[in-house]
Amino acid sequence: MSEDYKEPESVWTSNRFWSRSAGWVTGFSAVLLILLTMDTLGQITMGSAEDLANKVTKRVPSASVINYKVTYEYSAVRGHEVPVIGEKELFFGRNDYSEAEANALLEKGKLTSQAKNCMNCHTLLGNGAYYAPDLTKAWLDPAWQAGGVMQGMTGTTSTDEAMLVFLQNPDKYASHARRMPNLGITPEEAKGLVAFLKQMSSIDTNGFPRNFNKIQGSTQK
Amino acid sequence: MEYLDPESFLGIFASAAAVIMFGAIYVGIFTLVKIEKVKPLYIALAYLAWGVQTYSMVMLGILVKSDPFTVKILFAAMVGYLLIPHFIYFLVHRTHERFEHI
Amino acid sequence: MSIATPKYLSQSLAMKYFFVAVVLFGAQLVMGLIAAYQFVNPEFLFNVFNFSTARMVHINALVVWMLYAMIGSAYWMLPEETGIETVGIKLGTLGFYILTLAVTIVVGVYILVQVGPGTEASIWLINEGREYLEAPRWADIGITVVVLIFVYNVFATVMKGKRTGITTVLMADLIALAGLYLAGMFYTSNITMDQFWWWWVIHLWVEATWEVFVGVLIAYGLIKVMHANRQIVEMWLWIEVTMLFGSGILGMGHHYFWIGTPEYWWEIGALFSALEPVPLVGMLVHVIYDMGKHNGKVNNGPAFSWFIVNAFGNFLGAGVWGFMHTLPQINIYTHGSQFTAGHGHLAFYGAYATILIGMMYVAIQRRNGIEEMRSTATSKWAVSLITIGVLGMTVALTLSGYVQAFVERAEYGATWDGYFIAQGATWFTQGIDWRLAMGVVTFLGFLLLVKDLLTIAKRSKALAN
Ligand code: HEM
Ligand code: HEM
Ligand SMILES: [Fe+2]
C-alpha cells in the first residue's frame, strides 16, 4: 500500500525504472511508426494522369485509370499477381476523361459506397463484412467479362454497362439465393461506383486475392 | 510469398495455436512452482511444455515455407522466451522482499 | 477496512454510464441475432432491414457500449484512487446526457433512415459507412467534445488528488485513446489511404490503448477484490504497458499486408504482431499469480469469475486466435473471411466485455457497501452461458473460415463464383447454423446477466442481515 511506500534501492524493483522503460519503448515504437507512415503515405498517394500516360507504375493509380484496360497478371519477379494497366479502353463509350472528370466520378462512387454502406456486407481490400463477395477485384471478375453470366443476364455487351444495370436493381439480377438488396442507387451513383470499382481493381495489393481467376487458368502459371 | 499447399492449412493452424497454448502452459506451471502451489518437481513439465512449444514453432516455420535462416531466428526467439519468466520472477521476488517481508 | 465508500458523484455518474452500456449490449445482441439469421434465411427482412443495417448497429452498439463502460469504470475508479471527488463532475454529468441523446438519435437514424444518397451530406447526417466508425460526422464532433470533457475530468482530478501508478497510466492512455479517434474523421476518395488511417483508430484502439486500459482495470480489480499488493501490481502494470505498446504499435503492420501499402509491412507486421500474445500470456499469469498468493480469497464472487474469464478469454481470443492468422503467409488465405469474424468475437468478448461486466459487479458491490458479495446461481448461469455461447460461435466461425480459406481462397481464387461455392459447402453452412444456435445461448445468458445485475445487491444485503 502506498502509505508504507519506501523508496526502493534497486533499479529493478523500482517502479520508476519500469515506468521510464514503458515511456521509452512506447516513444520509440511511436516514432518508428510515424517514420514508416511518412514513407508509406508517399507510396500510397494517388498517381496522376501523366503517370498513366508515361507508364509510371503507382501503387494507387489515378482515377484516370478508367480510360485504360486493367488486367491482373502473374509476375515472376513479385511471385504473385499484380494489376497491369494496358492500352486505352472505352468506359461508358469514352476513353478521354480528363483527370478532373475522372476524379469527380471516383468521388461520387466512393461517397456512394460509404452512404450505402457496401462495407457492412462486402469486403473492400479484404476489410469489411463477410456476407457478400470481396470487391477488391470485382471489376476483373470472370462473371462480368464477355462470356460471363452478367452481360447476358443484363442484356449488355460490356463490363461497365453490365455493372451499371446490376447496381441499380441488384435484387432483380440475382444469381444466388443470398441477394443484394435494392439500395436506391441512381444511374449517376452507379456510374461513380463502377469507376470506383475499376480504380480499386488497379491498386497493387501485393497479390491479394491470391489465385484470382485461377478457374479461368489465365493468371497463374 | 510462397504458395502454400492447402493440405498443410490444418497443420499450420494447429501448430500456431500450439505455440501460444504451450507458451502459456510453460509460464503457467513455472509460476505455480515459484509460488509453491505445486511441487518443485513439476518444473520438468514446464520445460517439457517449452520443448513442445519450440517444436511447434519450428514446425510452423517450415509449414509456411520460411527460409532456413528464418527458422533459425525462430529458434533463437524461443530461447529468449525460455528466459523471460526467470527474469520476471527474479523481479517479483526482489519486490516481495522489499515490500512484504520487511 | 470497510468496503463502503462515501457517495461520490463521480461514482453515481459511473452507474449511469454502466446502465446505458448494458442497454446497448442488449441491442447489440439482438442485431447480431438478426444478422446471423439472415445468413441462414436471406429473405428475412430483405429490402426492409438489410443485413448491412443489422450488422452496422451490431458493431456500433458494441463499440459504443464498451466506450460507455470504460468511461464508467474510469469515473468509478477516480475518487477511490485519488481520494477526492472528480473535478468538474457537473460538467461530466452534463456530458453524459448530451452523449446519450446523441447516441439515441444516431441509432434512430441508422434504423429508420438506414442509407442516404452518395453525397457529403449523407456522411455528415446519416452514416459514414466505415466499419465501426459509422457514426455520422456531426456525432463524431459531439463525441469528441464529450470525450474532451471526460479527459479533462480525469486529468484535473489526477493532478489535484493523490497520484498513483494506476491513475498515471490511465490518464496517459485516455489521452492517446481520444486522440486516435481523430484519425478516423476525414474523407478521402483514395480507398487505400482511407483504410490506412482507419486501422490507426481500430487497431491502435483494440490492440494498444484498450488493452492498456484493461491492464489498469485488472490492476485495480486485483487490489480491490483480492487485496493484492499495490507495489507489485503497479510494477506488473508498467511491464505490461511496455510489452503491449512495444508489440502492439508496430503490430499494426498485420493490417497493411494487402491494402495497397508497401511490402515491408509483411516483415514488420509478422514480427511485431507475433510478439503481441506475449503480454497477454503475462496478464494471464499475473492473475494466476495473485490468485495463488492470496489463496483465491476474494470479496466479490461474480466480479472475480468475470476477471478470470477475462484473463483466459483475452489470451485465447486475441492471443491464440490472433496468432493463428497473423503471419502474411497464412493471412492471404484467411484475410476477410469468417476466420476473422471468429477471432473478432472471441477477442472483443474475452478481452473487453468480460472485464467491463466484472467492473459493473465491483461497482454494485461497493456502491451498496456489501462486504462480501457471493455469486448467485443466476450469476453463475449468466457467465457460463455467455461464455459457452461466444466460444461456441467462435469455434463455429473458425470452422466456416477454414472451409472458406480452403475452398474459396486456395481452390477458386476468391472470385464471386468461388465465394458462393464455399458459402454453400456443407461444413461452411454447418458452422453458420451453429453460430446462430450459439448466439441464442449467448442471448439467454445475457438475460440472466441483466436479472443478476438488477437483483444481486438486494439479495446479498438480505443474506448479510
Ligand atoms: C447473440 C450473439 C451474437 C450474434 C448472433 C452475432 C452475430 C454476428 C454477425 C452475423 C456478424 C457479421 C459477420 C459477417 O460480417 O459475416 C457479427 C460481427 C461482429 N460481431 Fe457479433 N454476434 C453476437 C455477439 C457478439 C458479441 C458478444 C461480440 C463481442 C463482444 C460481437 C462482436 C462482433 C464483431 C467485432 C463483429 C465484426 C467482426 C469482423 O468484422 O470481423 N458479437 N456478429
Ligand atoms: C483484444 C484484442 C483484439 C481485438 C478486440 C481484436 C479484434 C479484431 C477484429 C474485430 C478484427 C476484424 C477487423 C475487421 O472488421 O476487419 C481483427 C482483425 C485481425 N486481428 Fe485482431 N484483435 C485483437 C488482438 C489481436 C492480436 C493480439 C493479433 C495477433 C497476434 C490479432 C490479429 C489480427 C489480424 C491478423 C487481423 C486481420 C484479419 C484479416 O486479415 O481479415 N488481433 N481483430
Ligand atoms: Fe490488429
* Mean pLDDT calculated for residue range C339-359: 98
C238 Cα–ligand 3 center, Å: 22
The pTM for the full model equals 0.95
Contact of A163 with A191, CB cutoff 8 Å: no
H or E element at residue C382: helix C377-403
* Mean pLDDT calculated for residue range C54-75: 97
pLDDT of residue B71: 86
Contact of B12 with B66, CB cutoff 8 Å: no
Nearest CB neighbour to A143, from listed C127, C245, C416: C416
Give the closest residue (by CA) to ligand 1 atom 31: C345
Between C138-152, C292-306, C381-395, the lowest mean confidence (pLDDT) is in C292-306
3-class SS at B52? Answer: helix
Alpha carbon of A107: minimum distance to chain B alpha carbons (Å):
34
Residue C3 in this model has a pLDDT that exceeds 90: no
- Closest listed ligand to the CA of C280: 2
Which residues in C lie closer than 8 A to residue B84 (C-beta atoms)? 278
**Three-point CA angle C229, C284, B91, nearest 5°:** 50
Indicate whether A206 belongs to any domain: no
Dihedral over Cα of B66, A32, C264, C344: its sign:
positive
**Three-point CA angle C260, C263, C269, nearest 5°:** 100
pLDDT of residue A11: 62
Can you state the percent helix, strand and coil of chain C, rounding each to 5?
80, 0, 20
* Mean pLDDT calculated for residue range C397-426: 94
- On whether both A38 and A128 belong to a single domain, the answer is no
Residue A34 in this model has a pLDDT that exceeds 90: yes
Q: Which residue of A has its CA nearest to C43?
A: A178
C-alpha cell at C282: 503475462
Give CA–CA dist A219/A200, Å, rounded.
18
Indicate whether A69 belongs to any domain: yes
- On whether both A19 and A102 belong to a single domain, the answer is no
Length of chain C: 465
Q: Give C292's pLDDT tier (boundaries 50, 70, 90).
A: confident
Which CB contacts under 8 angstroms, 24+ apart, belong to A177-184?
A: A177/C42, A178/A131, A178/A132, A178/C42, A178/C420, A178/C423, A179/C42, A179/C46, A180/A121, A180/A132, A181/C46, A181/C47, A181/C50, A182/C47, A183/A116, A183/C115, A184/C115, A184/C117
* Mean pLDDT calculated for residue range A181-210: 97
pLDDT of residue C289: 83
The angle that helices C137-160 and C51-82 make with each other, rounded to 10 degrees, is: 10
pLDDT of residue A138: 96
Between A11-25, C128-142, C423-437, the lowest mean confidence (pLDDT) is in A11-25
C-alpha cell at C306: 468475470
Give CA–CA dist C196/A203, Å, rounded.
14
- On whether both A19 and A53 belong to a single domain, the answer is no
| Cα separation values, A69 from A84, A109, A159, A188, B29, Å | 8, 19, 11, 22, 61
Residue that has been written with the C-alpha cell 445485475 in this structure: C453
- On whether both A21 and A83 belong to a single domain, the answer is no
Check pocket membership of C345 for ligand 1, CB cut-off 6 A: yes
- On whether both A134 and A82 belong to a single domain, the answer is yes
Q: Give A5's pLDDT tier (boundaries 50, 70, 90).
A: low
Which residues of chain A approach chain B closer than 8 Å at the C-beta?
Answer: 6, 8, 10, 12-13, 79-80, 206-207, 210-211
Of A161-170, A211-220, C155-164, the range with the highest mean pLDDT is A161-170
pLDDT of residue A12: 63
Contact of A168 with A141, CB cutoff 8 Å: no
Indicate whether A122 belongs to any domain: yes
Q: Give C34's pLDDT tier (boundaries 50, 70, 90).
A: very high
Give CA–CA dist A178/A67, Å, rounded.
33
Q: Give A9's pLDDT tier (boundaries 50, 70, 90).
A: low
Q: Judging by beta carbons within 10 Å of its beta carbon (0-12, 13-18, 19+), is residue A175 exposed, middle or buried? A: middle
- pLDDT tens digits for range C310-348: 999 999 999 999 999 999 999 999 999 999 999 999 999
* Mean pLDDT calculated for residue range C90-107: 96
Indicate whether C112 belongs to any domain: yes
3-class SS at C414? Answer: coil
What's at C146, amino acid-wise? V
- pLDDT tens digits for range A128-172: 999 999 999 999 999 999 989 999 999 999 999 999 999 999 999
DSSP character string of C28-97: HHHHHHHHHHHHH-TTTTTTTS-HHHHHHHHHHHHHHHHHHHHHHHHHHHHHHHHSSPPTTHHHHHHHHH
Residue B34 in this model has a pLDDT that exceeds 90: no
Q: Give C275's pLDDT tier (boundaries 50, 70, 90).
A: very high
A44 or C295, greater pLDDT: A44
Contact between chains at A125 and C193 (C-beta distance less than 8 A): no
Full residue range of the structural domain in which residue C141 is found? 1-162
Contact of A61 with A37, CB cutoff 8 Å: no
Ligand 3 (single-atom ion) residues, CB below 5 Å: C 203, 207
The alpha helices in C314-374, defined as continuous H runs, are 321-324, 328-334, 338-347, 354-367
Contact between chains at B91 and A12 (C-beta distance less than 8 A): yes
Q: Give A221's pLDDT tier (boundaries 50, 70, 90).
A: very low
pLDDT of residue A217: 42
- Domain range annotation of chain B: 8-100
pLDDT of residue A16: 83
Contact of A54 with C277, CB cutoff 8 Å: no
Q: What is the mean pLDDT of chain A?
A: 91
Which residues in A lie closer than 8 A to residue C42 (C-beta atoms)? 177-179
* Mean pLDDT calculated for residue range C206-220: 95
Indicate whether A207 belongs to any domain: no
Contact of C189 with A110, CB cutoff 8 Å: yes
Instruction: Tell me which residue of C422, C416, C413 sits closest to A139, measured CA to CA.
Output: C416
Check pocket membership of C341 for ligand 1, CB cut-off 6 A: yes
Give the closest residue (by CA) to ligand 1 atom 38: C341
Check pocket membership of C29 for ligand 1, CB cut-off 6 A: yes
Number of domains in chain C: 1
Residues 6+ apart with CB under 8 A from C104: none
**A78-109 per-residue burial string, b: 16 or more CB within 10 A, e: under 16:** eebbbbebeeebebeeeeebeeebbbbbbbbb
Helix/strand/coil (H, E, C) string of C22-38?
Answer: HHHHHHHHHHHHHHHHH
Residue A50 in this model has a pLDDT that exceeds 60: yes
Neighbours of chain A (3+ CB pairs under 8 A): B, C
pLDDT of residue A2: 45
Q: Give the DSSP letter of residue C260.
A: S
**C252-286 per-residue burial string, b: 16 or more CB within 10 A, e: under 16:** bbbbbbbbbbbeebbebbbbbbbbbbbbbbbbbbb
Give CA–CA dist B24/B12, Å, rounded.
19
Q: Give the DSSP letter of residue A8.
A: -
C384 Cα–ligand 1 center, Å: 19
Residues 6+ apart with CB under 8 A from B75: B54, B57, B58
Indicate whether A149 belongs to any domain: yes
Q: What is the mean pLDDT of chain C?
A: 94
Question: How many beta carbons lie within 10 A of that of residue B98, not counting itself?
Answer: 17
Q: Which residue of B has its CA nearest to C286?
A: B31
**Three-point CA angle C272, C274, C280, nearest 5°:** 100
Contact of C37 with A98, CB cutoff 8 Å: no
Q: Judging by beta carbons within 10 Å of its beta carbon (0-12, 13-18, 19+), is residue B84 exposed, middle or buried? A: middle
pLDDT over 90 percentage in chain A:
84
Alpha carbon of C415: minimum distance to chain A alpha carbons (Å):
6
Residue that has been written with the C-alpha cell 526467470 in this structure: B86
- On whether both A61 and A18 belong to a single domain, the answer is no
Alpha carbon of C425: minimum distance to chain A alpha carbons (Å):
14
- On whether both A137 and A81 belong to a single domain, the answer is yes
* Mean pLDDT calculated for residue range A31-50: 97
Between A14-18, C166-170, C252-256, the lowest mean confidence (pLDDT) is in A14-18
Residues 6+ apart with CB under 8 A from C9: C85, C86, C89, C93
**Three-point CA angle C327, C408, A60, nearest 5°:** 60
C301 Cα–ligand 3 center, Å: 33
Which residues sit with their C-beta closer than 6 Å to ligand 2? A 126-127; C 131, 206-207, 211, 254-255, 273, 276-277, 318-319, 322-323, 325-326, 331, 335-336, 340, 343-344, 347-348, 351
Instruction: Tell me which residue of B83, A131, B62, B4 sits closest to C36, measured CA to CA.
Output: A131
- On whether both A22 and A70 belong to a single domain, the answer is no
Contact between chains at A13 and B98 (C-beta distance less than 8 A): yes
Question: How many beta carbons lie within 10 A of that of residue C58, not counting itself?
Answer: 20
Number of domains in chain A: 2
Full residue range of the structural domain in which residue A178 is found? 48-201
C323 CA closest ligand 2 atom index: 30
Indicate whether C114 belongs to any domain: yes
Give the closest residue (by CA) to ligand 1 atom 39: C341
Alpha carbon of A90: minimum distance to chain C alpha carbons (Å):
22
Alpha carbon of C415: minimum distance to chain B alpha carbons (Å):
17
Give CA–CA dist C348/C390, Å, rounded.
10
The angle that helices B9-34 and C277-293 make with each other, rounded to 10 degrees, is: 30
- On whether both A156 and A180 belong to a single domain, the answer is yes
- On whether both A88 and A188 belong to a single domain, the answer is yes
Indicate whether C27 belongs to any domain: yes
Give the closest residue (by CA) to ligand 1 atom 17: C32
* Mean pLDDT calculated for residue range C260-281: 95
Instruction: Tell me which residue of C110, C140, C112 sits closest to C124, measured CA to CA.
Output: C140
Indicate whether A167 belongs to any domain: yes
Contact between chains at A25 and C242 (C-beta distance less than 8 A): yes
C255 Cα–ligand 2 center, Å: 9
